[in-house]
Structure 1
Amino acid sequence: MQTPIPLIRDVVMIGGGHTHALVARMFGMKPMAGARLTLINPAPTAPYSGMLPGYIAGHYARMDLEIDLVRLARFAGARLVLGQVTGIDRVAQRVQVAGQADIAYDIASVNVGITTEAPTIPGFTENALGAKPLARYTAEWDRFLSDATAGRRTPDVVVIGGGVAGVELSLAMMHHLKANGVTGARVTILERADTPLSGIGKGARKALLHHIQRLGVVLKTGAEVTHIARDQVHLADGTSVPKSFCVGSTTARPHDWLQDTGLTNDRGFIDVGETLQTLSDPLIYAAGDCADLTHAPRPKAGVYAVREAPVLFHNLRAELTGGQRKAFKPQKTFLKLIQTGGKGAIADKAGLRLDGPLLWKWKNHIDLKFMRQFEEYPEMPAPPLPRDVAQGVREEMGDVPLCGGCGAKVAPADLQTVLQTLPATVRKDVLSGPGDDAAVLACGDGEQVLTTDHLRAFVSDHYRMARITAIHAMGDIWAMGAKPQAALASIILPRMGAKLQAETLREIMQAATETFGAAGAEVVGGHSSQGAELTIGFSVTGLAGERTISNSGAQAGDVLILTKPIGTGTILAAEMRLLAQGGWVEAAYRMMEHPLDTAAGILTPVAHAMTDVTGFGLAGHLDVMLKGSDVGATLNLTDIPLLEGVATLADQGVRSTIWAANRAAVQMQADMTTAPEILLFDPQTAGGLLAAVPAAKAQMILEKLQDAGEPAAIIGEVTEGSGIMLA
């Protein structure tokens, strides 16, 4: 049998800019055995700046210009860490991430773009925003456009900076305001210099000035901004310009945290040589607008970031293999295609004036072609099976990957068969046997609860996976009405070198210590081993209060409250198959990271029965609750909260690998034609609490949960009889 190739070296890419997005795709097409690729970015998507003016003008939807980093990372086989980088410790060779464990690297690369925020202008931070980073600008523009169209805000826009970018965005905003029928729309460009658009040729400048006049955009030159107030922009000459929305498009500047790395020049950009290695540290590369090409100085432009990608990809692989690096030789000039608000554009090259819709079509073709690289990934074939395999192997493996998390559990019917073979408890201090969420043990004058859980990794971010697993494991403790006390870790690592092994364990244990600590528990030790893939588990003890709550005890007339939306199994199954949007996946992760302590504290004093909804799905766990109490239930399908995007995926036929077994384990009538019906059997990881509470107190308890920030809902009621009915 072939031994798995161990992971030996870490390549960490900081930022999901154009260069890194292309490099990650190249790694997906041509993986490097023994290397672990990590991509760190604040958000699950990265906007493509080339399509920004078209989006602002209303020609594209938001998702049209977003590179989905979750799908890209899955294709590339890369770890994706969603967080804001705050620094680089070059001595320890670790990247510092806010709210996260530090990420170790052997080789690092920086591609974080630039910002156009101008905090030196008084009032800018409070009353304006930069055109870059793009995420905040696009979100605030959408909000302003909606308010201005509805008449909730005056349609006064001010753009600080009369360069190409500022003019292009001004034309786009004015076009969209007029297209939406906003009366009285006014866009004013404030340019400090006496001559606007000084960085382009005469022909292009003349064409843009024509379009400024055509759309009625106001251009003020020699306008120095002294202060930005809530509804006015004040100028040095004593005048002011009314504003409801203000955006800065002035000289690009680097992100502040870069200056503390020791990699930057006096302007704050990272100096790199012809191989794109930083001049200060050969183990760190940089590309895109955050870097200055010392061997061939060029203006900040996306075309250079795109063309750096093949060179960076080659040189990172050369670092890993000991090969020869290549030099990046940027072109001296390039054709600029500048949008003019509507579906038109001008070309800037050699002083010519080229203007019209054909240029827009050309630019649109170029942009869509670029984005298709991140929408249509080639299917990478799985390793073939041996020629001779036992009967049933192909059927068992199926045509979809095995899910992670609770989607990888043993089928409920098989588990129940095994549990029935266990002997009855005989010790007087063991107060409950198999079947409840946790064992209840007599402990002095009180009671202690004990549970264990582990998960096959589904998140490539080790810190986040450990955090979700810890919250998942404590779910049984909270469901029993107890408070977590102590935890033992059980970790299986894939084969890797000693350094990577230590760094991976450090990330996992830091997350465990912080997560259990926040819940009032301590990690007291554990066990680790090596295996085929990452698996994280915890055995947890908890101390009960005045009483422990069983998953039986529900009474006819009780109201059923669910504290989290469902759908994690479907989201995770879709993510593995490149079918889920990154935003949906990130929202699901955040819901899994949400602890149950607050909800448990509110429900414990009043609940007749309670359980946490995990691997057997909402229907499966409710079924266990009802059978233990000899009652039935009616669920109101329309009231069951669902995670964002999960209904779409369920309608497309996406199912977790344990879904069919969960469905078979519950006897109930369901047509399986709607998403809520389908998702009743979806396995949940770190799911919510399901509680049966007295009807008279249900509304008060629900309001208390929601006031505490819990996404809880009343989803049905407990009835006489047996079984689950749908309404």
Structure 2
Amino acid sequence: MNIEYPQTRDLVLIGGGHAHALVLKMWAMKPLAGARLTVINPAPSAPYSGMLPGFVAGHYTSDELYIDLVRIARAAGARIVLGKATHIDREQKHIIVPGRAPIGYDVCSVDIGITSGMPELDGFTEHAVPAKPLDDFARIWEGFCQETGPAQVAVLGAGVAGAEVAMAAAHRLQRLGRAADVTLIDRSKALSRLGAQARTKVLKSLKELKVTLLEHTKVERIEADQVIVEGRAPIPSKITLGAAGTRAYEWLSDIGLAMEQGYIKVLPTLQSETDSDIFAVGDCAHLTHAPRPKAGVFAVREAPILFHNLRAALSNGTMKEYHPQSDYLKLISLGGKIALAEKLGVAISGAVMWKWKDQIDRKFMDQFETLKPMAGFELPAEYASDAEQYAGPICAGCGSKVGRGALASTALHHTGAKRDDVVTLKGDDAALLQMGDLQQVLSTDHLRAFTHDPVLMTRIAAVHALGDIWSMGAKPQSAMVSLILPRMSTALQERTLEEVMRTASDVMRDAGAQIVGGHTSMGAEFTVGFSVTGLADRAPITLGGAQIGDVLVLTKPIGTGVLLAAEMQMRARGSDVGAAYASMSRAVAQDARALNAAHAMTDVTGFGLAGHIANICRASQVGAELNVNAVPLLDGALELSEAGVQSSLYPDNLSDALTLMNAPTSARGRLMLDPQTAGGLLAVLPDAKAQKAIAQMKAQGIDAVQIGRVVQGPVALTLIE
């Protein structure tokens, strides 16, 4: 995460809407030196609304529907915060995201779209699925399509969006061979915003797909299996979809900006009428100089103006103005691979229109797939021998650490005066200090940033460092912070330190430890680490206590090394990276308490799962068998391993492991040597106690599993694939 220029100004994008996705893409091609870019979004990806009807109809997969924000943020050099903004404190220039320190900004832009305005309808929240926001809608609809039997669907709102959804649903269900009964309901006239010619064609398509249209029909309430309407029998519905009554997010009204029915009023420059440091685009904004309906086409065309003006606001440049077209081309999906095009009252429909719409949509999405991954440094014409082996990018996290081979050849653990109060342990990362009846465990660890988010990095580094304390059966006591900040202005230093220290305090407080100090310096890139101590009220759990007949238990899935390496190369799915971040962020305190009867235990980190089992074998003078197929994997890890993706530390792990075990023969087997960051606990304990611990952790939401067993020597590890 090397920062080439000193950072002096913070630009924050709230929301991953179409305009912001395009701004990120343009920023990747032309970054502004000195600006630190942040994007805040609840999910690692954002759905493209133009392809939603095609997704409902089964023409597109869920992967094709989503813009991968993690990948674009990587290309743009931006930090991505996976959370939901709930407030902008304009006085403090802070953005509030629950669960973390406030995010400071100099300039910010809002592109969060709109949400459903129908929750006030009786039963809607409990029994209906709004089309906005799209994430939940897409997931729930896909699940419904996996079911069997007759399908009864009610769609509320017969505007263009509702009609598209109803036709797409009818087409999909009919193609699946399910008896489909789709009803489209509106309290007034259907498709009232379309011209007469286009309306006639859409109504014809609805009829051909056997969609029942109920106009001027008032919905009284939604129930689990039916929609109650005024003046007629209930309408059976196994899934009720809401495509009407959209509104602005409520929290926008609390910012203190000029608003129009809950939408931020913006000038032609896309700046708020009230605050020039706040921009707004897309459906959440109201163009005061040229009001337009809520349509994605305007957000897309706002993007180049927004990109220019954000840079101008950060660099004292000249603003441009956005003037939307008076009319725009409407492309409406008609269920199957046919579409309708309307502009200036003229409507044309057919398969050719679908191909045109499909080309436009795919071209829009393809631009986010052609971004360049992180590269290693370029070698000059002349260079020392073997330099080409180390020219690629270094994987961050545990992948950037020194390999076991180099560590083993040093005197790292054998220097200084020999003391009676320092207990020598076999292979453990932590030290044990014996002071009378008091036993203190001491460890230190640090991570080079693999994400631009200092909060996420701090949380993961703290969990990672505490792993040594928990795995030895000790209770965390104190922590000292070691922090390297990239070059940045004093204001950005203060913001970053506030985020880091608040996060570190939260993690350590939850663990029962107190931060007692630390050291901060500036350097080429962000690095964070902790020196931690813990107190043990009984003999510590070390690597050397494994007994023949014990079983191996693992408390987290593996695969972070491959996923982080792939993310740097922009080959990993953002959803998989987000899940890996969540796994790394989870503390292992509950794991350790459940496993307090372990004979041996360690946290799984840089040596990989197999490497850590091998360390236990060496220290305990036993053999072990690892059932490769029983080991849980993070989503996407196996697919990436099959594609040949590896962490830069993998060759060192493999070289060392082959001295004690058979070589892996499959992609899954190779993952056993994948270096982990903030991995789970690996415990060795009797079978009965293992099953009790696994059940206890399962009750706490921890998916711990048995992955192998300890066997009679020789000292070796056998991979069973």
| TM-score computed with the length of structure 2 as normaliser | 0.97
1:91 counterpart residue number: 91
RMSD after superposition: 1.8
1:530 counterpart residue number: 522
1:625 counterpart residue number: 616
Q: Distance in 2 between matches of 1:171 and 1:519?
A: 53
1:192 counterpart residue number: 187
2:388 counterpart residue number: 395
Instruction: Provide, for residues 654-674 of structure 1, a one-character-per-residue CA deviation record: whole Å limited to 9, x for no partner.
Output: 111111011111214544431
- Specify the SS of the correspondent of 2:469: helix
1:307 counterpart residue number: 301
Structure 1 segments unaligned to the other structure (5+ residues): none
1:233 maps onto 2:224 in alignment? no
Give 1:352-371 correspondences, 5 Å limit: 352-371=346-365
Equivalent in 213, 217, 220 of residue 219 of structure 1: 213
Aligned residue identity for 2:104:
A
Give 1:119-518 correspondences, 5 Å limit: 119-147=119-147, 150-151=148-149, 155-183=151-179, 185-193=180-188, 195-237=189-231, 239-378=233-372, 384=378, 391-392=384-385, 394-398=387-391, 400-419=392-411, 422-423=414-415, 426-432=418-424, 435-518=427-510
CA drift at 1:634: 1.1
Question: Aligned pair in 2 of structure 1 residues 35, 386: CA closer, same or farther (>3 Å)?
Answer: farther
Give the number of aligned pairs: 717
- Specify the SS of the correspondent of 2:16: coil
Structure 2 segments unaligned to the other structure (5+ residues): none
Mapped contact 2:664–2:670 kept (Cα < 8 A): yes
Aligned residue identity for 2:700:
A
Instruction: Provide, for residues 405-427 of structure 1, a one-character-per-residue CA deviation record: whole Å limited to 9, x for no partner.
Output: 11111110111222367247632
CA drift at 1:706: 2.3
Aligned residue identity for 2:153:
V
Q: Distance in 2 between matches of 1:405 and 1:669?
A: 25
Instruction: Provide, for residues 377-420 of structure 1, a one-character-per-residue CA deviation record: whole Å limited to 9, x for no partner.
Output: 246876655666x514742532x311111111111011122236
1:66 maps onto 2:66 in alignment? yes
Aligned residue identity for 1:618:
L
CA drift at 1:625: 0.9
Q: Distance in 1 between matches of 2:444 and 2:291?
A: 59
1:562 counterpart residue number: 554
1:717 counterpart residue number: 709
CA drift at 1:693: 0.7
CA drift at 1:687: 0.7
2:678 counterpart residue number: 686
Aligned residue identity for 1:86:
T
1:659 maps onto 2:655 in alignment? no
1:593 maps onto 2:585 in alignment? yes
Mapped contact 1:640–1:676 kept (Cα < 8 A): no
Q: Distance in 1 between matches of 2:162 and 2:411?
A: 68
Aligned residue identity for 1:38:
T
Percent identity of paired positions between Structure 1 and Structure 2: 50
CA drift at 1:244: 1.6
- Specify the SS of the correspondent of 2:601: strand
2:631 counterpart residue number: 640
- Specify the SS of the correspondent of 2:451: coil
Instruction: Provide, for residues 222-260 of structure 1, a one-character-per-residue CA deviation record: whole Å limited to 9, x for no partner.
Output: 111122222222223364322221111113211111111
CA drift at 1:266: 4.1
Mapped contact 1:432–1:441 kept (Cα < 8 A): no
Question: Aligned pair in 2 of structure 1 residues 671, 631: CA closer, same or farther (>3 Å)?
Answer: closer
- Specify the SS of the correspondent of 2:422: coil
- Specify the SS of the correspondent of 1:542: strand
Mapped contact 2:628–2:672 kept (Cα < 8 A): no
CA drift at 1:177: 0.9
Mapped contact 1:412–1:665 kept (Cα < 8 A): yes
CA drift at 1:648: 0.9
Q: Distance in 2 between matches of 1:612 and 1:3?
A: 31
1:607 counterpart residue number: 598
Equivalent in 564, 570, 583 of residue 572 of structure 1: 564
Aligned residue identity for 1:428:
D
- Specify the SS of the correspondent of 2:689: helix
Question: Aligned pair in 2 of structure 1 residues 697, 248: CA closer, same or farther (>3 Å)?
Answer: same
Mapped contact 2:379–2:388 kept (Cα < 8 A): no
Q: Distance in 1 between matches of 2:315 and 2:386?
A: 37
Aligned residue identity for 1:700:
K
CA drift at 1:273: 0.6
Q: Distance in 1 between matches of 2:711 and 2:560?
A: 28
Q: Distance in 2 between matches of 1:178 and 1:277?
A: 47
Please, which moves more after superposition, 475-484 or 666-675? 666-675
Aligned residue identity for 2:186:
E
2:43 counterpart residue number: 43
Q: Distance in 1 between matches of 2:254 and 2:567?
A: 36
- Specify the SS of the correspondent of 1:109: strand
Aligned residue identity for 2:138:
T
Instruction: Provide, for residues 502-541 of structure 1, a one-character-per-residue CA deviation record: whole Å limited to 9, x for no partner.
Output: 1011111111111111111111221100011000000111
Question: Aligned pair in 2 of structure 1 residues 551, 89: CA closer, same or farther (>3 Å)?
Answer: same
Q: Distance in 2 between matches of 1:266 and 1:424?
A: 71
- Specify the SS of the correspondent of 2:618: helix
Question: Aligned pair in 2 of structure 1 residues 52, 326: CA closer, same or farther (>3 Å)?
Answer: same
Q: Distance in 1 between matches of 2:372 and 2:117?
A: 39
- Specify the SS of the correspondent of 1:680: helix
Mapped contact 1:495–1:531 kept (Cα < 8 A): yes
Q: Distance in 1 between matches of 2:322 and 2:534?
A: 59
Question: Aligned pair in 2 of structure 1 residues 625, 421: CA closer, same or farther (>3 Å)?
Answer: closer
Aligned residue identity for 2:346:
L
- Specify the SS of the correspondent of 1:353: strand
Mapped contact 2:3–2:487 kept (Cα < 8 A): no
Please, which moves more after superposition, 355-364 or 704-713? 704-713
1:21 counterpart residue number: 21
Please, which moves more after superposition, 413-422 or 584-593? 413-422
Question: Aligned pair in 2 of structure 1 residues 431, 421: CA closer, same or farther (>3 Å)?
Answer: closer
CA drift at 1:546: 2.5
Q: Distance in 2 between matches of 1:591 and 1:571?
A: 12
Please, which moves more after superposition, 342-351 or 571-580? 342-351
Mapped contact 1:564–1:641 kept (Cα < 8 A): yes
Question: Aligned pair in 2 of structure 1 residues 3, 344: CA closer, same or farther (>3 Å)?
Answer: closer
